[in-house]
């Protein structure tokens, strides 16, 4: 699958890594990452569409040590639509991942079905793909000018 990413996902954060994005077969702490994403997907299916009132429920799912940053992509067209970064390198928590994946001011995210890891390495950045019906509030962007990579999903 082809993924289109923003060269500098979070320009307000100066510690965003500059390491290249490389396809791989195994990601760091793979078992814990896949287990966390499975918990988030199941929680979302159980309690319905994500909203801020559910934050404490997701927070109980824990954190992903070793991953202070994430890029989040649409599974339907591969476009990066969200990113997370912790200025003090705190681990990503399930509530922050769910908020970034299932809530956006620029998109309407409906019927979230799954959140999956992408088989790539980019320093300490976790790459995630969200399977949902995602509709932009504005015209879809032209992805041809964005850098991209090809990778498989777990």
Mind listing the pLDDT tens digit for each residue in 93-105? 999 999 999 888 7
- Is 25 domain-assigned? no
* 144: Cβ contacts below 8 Å, ≥ 6 apart: none
Query: Nearest to residue 74, comparing CAs of 130, 6, 2, 7?
Result: 130
- Is 19 domain-assigned? no
- Is 34 domain-assigned? no
- Is 49 domain-assigned? yes
Q: Which residues pair with 115 in a beta bridge?
A: 130
Give the residue, 88 or 21, on which the prediction is more confident.
21
Q: Specify the pairing of strand 107-117 against strand 69-74.
A: unpaired
Query: Nearest to residue 131, comparing CAs of 99, 101, 106?
Result: 101
80: left (phi over 0), alpha (psi -120 to 50) or beta: beta
Query: Domain range for residue 112?
Result: 2-7+45-150
- Is 54 domain-assigned? yes
- Is 58 domain-assigned? yes
Q: Which residues pair with 108 in a beta bridge?
A: 135
* Number of domains, the chain: 1
- Is 30 domain-assigned? no
Q: 110 near 83, Cβ under 8 Å?
A: no
* Digit-coded pLDDT (tens) for 79-92: 998 999 887 889 99
* Digit-coded pLDDT (tens) for 53-65: 889 999 999 999 9
- Is 106 domain-assigned? yes
The Cβ of residue 14 has, within 10 Å, a number of other Cβ atoms equal to: 8
């Amino acid at each position: 699958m082809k993924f289109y990413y923003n060269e500098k996902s979070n320009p307000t954060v100066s510690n965003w890594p500059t390491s290249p994005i490389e396809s791989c077969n195994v990601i760091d702490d793979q078992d814990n990452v896949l287990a966390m994403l499975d918990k988030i997907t199941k929680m979302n299916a159980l309690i319905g569409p994500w909203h801020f009132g559910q934050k404490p429920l997701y927070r109980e799912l824990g954190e992903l040590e070793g991953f202070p940053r994430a890029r989040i992509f649409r599974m339907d067209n591969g476009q990066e639509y969200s990113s997370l970064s912790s200025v003090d390198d705190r681990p990503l928590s399930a509530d922050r991942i769910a908020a970034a994946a299932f809530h956006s001011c620029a998109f309407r995210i409906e019927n979230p079905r799954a959140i999956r890891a992408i088989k790539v390495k980019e320093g300490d950045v976790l790459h995630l793909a969200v399977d949902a019906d995602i509709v932009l509030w504005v015209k879809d962007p032209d992805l041809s000018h964005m850098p991209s990579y090809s990778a498989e999903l777990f």
